[in-house]
Amino acid sequence: MSDPTALDPRLAEAARHVPLARATLDRLRRPRSSLEVSLPVRGDDGEVRSLAAYRVRWDTTRGPGKGGVRFHPEVDRAMTERLALGMTLKTALLDLPYGGAKGGVRLDAKQASAAELERVARAWVSGMADVLGPERDIPAPDLYTNERIMAWMVDQWTATVRGHQPAAFTGKPLALGGSHGRTTATADGAKHVIDALAPKLDLAGDPPTVAVQGFGNAGAELAEQLFHAGYRVVAVSDSRGAILDHGGLHVPSVRRVKERGEGLRSVLCEGSVCEAREHERLEPGDLLTLDVDVLVPAALGGVITEANADAVRAGVIVEVANEPVTAEADAILAERGVTVVPDVLASGGGVTVSYFEWVQNRQGLRWGAEEVARRLGERLRATAAETWGRAEELGVPLRTAASALALERIDVAASARDSLT
Ligand code: GLU
């Protein structure tokens, strides 16, 4: 019996560095299940339109599927499958008792009203109900989904199964069984990873300079944490534009202004006197090639490609988005000595606190904010150190080391399941 389906090239590269049972790699060639459904949803204009929706469990060797649901116009089956494989590696690297999954709806969420989003969220749960559940596959927020959407989803689930099962979804509001620390978890996790690796990274600047692409839930929070920690955040961007200040942006006020819906700029207030600060504007794409110590892509995937990898001047890239650096760009960056802290590690805080939420739900209790923060810090710092150690030992980039560690964990579980003795 042999299967000609090609293994993901980055996995194949990692697999060269660890002894694995052949059956383990075979498991990772194709999704365990990949469901595509059509969701007829009524818009506010009264018209019913059918939206393409997906849920993929790539692998469930180590536990139930786990991963977010994104609402984005570029969502398709191939993207969802790739991201579900990414989640498989992420949960294994972090040693969470899950496999990996991902879901999505092909939809421009920015153009949808709250009422339309609610109908889409509820339709998604109804459409996917056969494959979900706290011990089967547990969705969470991702791009353009948030705790409000998870609230509609878990409410729909309650109606579907005729009972309360808060552990079926994570990233819920606190009032519906959410966990402390979930909304800032991705940024908190990235900050722990940066702190753990900072002494080893060659951050030349004093203070080190940072550019953040994507000023959303994760990017804005991380930018603010880095600002408070003494980093000089010189540029941030969102989907509409980017601002630059070589002297350093006042990130808290940039955030406040953006949250008021006034775009990207900062306003500094002393007492009752407020002064609008004018910043240089740049094309969002140009942010990626600024001369900074740390570049944080925290928006969409595939932004650093073979077309611009040569122009990247940062010494360190911290992948807070899913898959911002393509495989071709990875090779160029490795050649040039740029350290890429891979998404499976740098953005692992979200799913880690999702796991804590699921544990709390299953036990019917709530941990305090400090306990969540402590556990998150311990796990992310330990995983960062372990990944760094493995990279040094194997003489490979961090991404390959992270995948190798993940593959090893999947292999142990797969071998335990498959063993004849
Ligand atoms: N969407 C997040 C991720 O890509 C979180 C997933 C989760 O919490 O299950 O890691």
At 4-22, the pLDDT tens digits run: 678 888 888 899 999 998 8
Q: Which residue has 């009752």 as its token pair?
A: 272
What separation in Å is there between the alpha carbon of 311 and the centre of ligand 1?
30
What separation in Å is there between the alpha carbon of 27 and the centre of ligand 1?
22
| Residues of the chain predicted below pLDDT 70 | 1-4, 270
What residues flank ligand 1, with Cβ below 6 Å? 66-68, 90, 140, 142, 170-171, 322, 347, 350-351, 354
Q: How far is CA 280 from the centre of its chain?
A: 29
What torsion do the CA atoms of 389, 394, 399, 405 make, to the nearest 10 degrees?
Answer: -70
pLDDT score at 283: 83
* Residues 36-45: b if buried by 16+ CB within 10 A, e if exposed: ebebebeeee
- If one residue of 138, 351, 380 were mutated to test the ligand 1 pocket, choosing by the most ligand atoms within 8 A of its CB, it would be 351
Mark out the alpha helices in 28-128 (DSSP H runs): 77-93, 114-128
> Six-digit token pair at 412?
């142990």
> Into which CATH architecture does domain 185-343 fall?
3-Layer(aba) Sandwich (3.40)
* Residue 251 near residue 210 (C-beta atoms within 8 A): no
- Ligand 1 atom nearest the C-alpha of 67 is 9
102 is annotated as an active-site residue: yes
First to last CA, the chain: 21
- The domains of the chain are located at 32-166, 185-343
pLDDT score at 267: 78
What separation in Å is there between the alpha carbon of 143 and the centre of ligand 1?
10
* Residue 301 near residue 324 (C-beta atoms within 8 A): yes
pLDDT score at 44: 98
The SS3 of residue 67 is: strand
- If one residue of 80, 82, 87 were mutated to test the ligand 1 pocket, choosing by the most ligand atoms within 8 A of its CB, it would be 87
> Six-digit token pair at 225?
């944490």
Is the CATH code 3.40.50.10860 the one for domain 32-166? yes
Q: What gap in Å lies between CA 200 and CA 202, rounded to an integer?
A: 7
Say what the pTM is.
0.95
The SS3 of residue 363 is: helix
> Same fold for the domain at 32-166 and the one at 185-343?
yes
